Amino acid sequence: MQYLVALTSILLGAVAQLFLKMGVTAIQERSGSTIESIKYGFMNLYMWTGLCLYGASLGLWFFVLSRMELSKAYPMVSLGYVFTLFLGYFFLNESLTVAKVAGISLILVGVLVLSR
């Protein structure tokens, strides 16, 4: 159960990054000055969605920390890199290179080793 909640928390954090990226991109396309950027940032639904997802992720992470050893829970956070890479690939048309796949493979092996 704790592992599922941890993965959900980490996935929510990665999805939050996706929404923040979409929000920042939309703001950058609309505004020219810093003041305009701040104004559009407060009105941008992507930004608010990303922040709310981070809040939900944090709440779930508190649950995880209350029930798991820190030395087992925290290495799982690096799975956020894996989730974020695939979210960027599928939703933002970012590249997926051999080097990135190799890096993800190393992360997955590391998380597996540390979680035992």
> pLDDT (tens digit, 9 = 90+) per residue, 74-89?
999 999 999 999 999 9
> What's the half-sphere exposure (Cβ side, CA atoms, 13 Å) at 97?
4
What is the reported pTM?
Answer: 0.88
pLDDT grade, residue 69 (50/70/90)?
Answer: very high
**Looking at residue 41, what is its pLDDT?**
79
- Comparing 64 with 116, the larger pLDDT belongs to 64
Rounded CA separation 84/12 (Å): 10
* CB-based contact 9:65 (threshold 8 Å): no
Rounded CA separation 37/26 (Å): 10
Interval 15-68: pLDDT, tens: 999 999 999 998 887 777 777 778 887 889 999 999 999 999 999 999 999 999
* CB-based contact 5:64 (threshold 8 Å): yes
Rounded CA separation 116/106 (Å): 16
Structure tokens given for 116: 């035992």
**Looking at residue 83, what is its pLDDT?**
97
**Looking at residue 37, what is its pLDDT?**
79
Structure tokens given for 37: 């950027």
